[in-house]
Structure formats: C-alpha cells, structure tokens
Amino acid sequence: MNVGDRQLRELDELSKQEKRSRAALIREAIDDFLAKRRRKHESDAFGLWGTRKADGLVYQNRLRNEW
C-alpha cells in the first residue's frame, strides 16, 4: 500500500467518524496549514527583535545615552 492509499483510507475513516465529507476535511487541513505558515511568516517579520522583551524606544535611547 502506498502513501496515497493510506492517506485516503485514513481520511475515509475520519470522514465516517466525524460525519463530514473527505473534501471538507481536506479544506480544513489546507486552512490549518496556510494559517500556520502565515503565523510563521508574520513572526519572521520582526526578525531577531521579535523575541526581545524590552521596548525598542527605551533600548534605542539607552544606546544613544552611551555616546
């Protein structure tokens, strides 16, 4: 049994359990995948600064006061 056959079998089982169409499950999976990628790209927009807890303006002023 190849990967595609296994995925279809599992989708069919899940479809019966949840009483939803295979297409609805696939659409939901695609939506989840796209949302996950969108969140990753949004967090990447902040670069290295995104993980810092300090306020950017306070940090900038502190550095300027060192001059």
Range(s) of the domain holding residue 51: 3-65
- Is the pTM above the cut of 0.75? no
First to last CA, the chain: 68
Phi, psi of 9 (to 5 degrees): -60, -45
The 10s digit of each residue's pLDDT in 7-66 is 999 999 999 999 999 999 999 999 999 998 887 776 666 666 666 777 778 888 888 988
Number of domains the chain contains:
1
Do the beta carbons of residue 18 and residue 29 sit within 8 Å?
A: no
- Where does the chain have alpha helices with state H? 3-18, 22-44, 56-65
- pLDDT at residue 47, as a whole number: 64
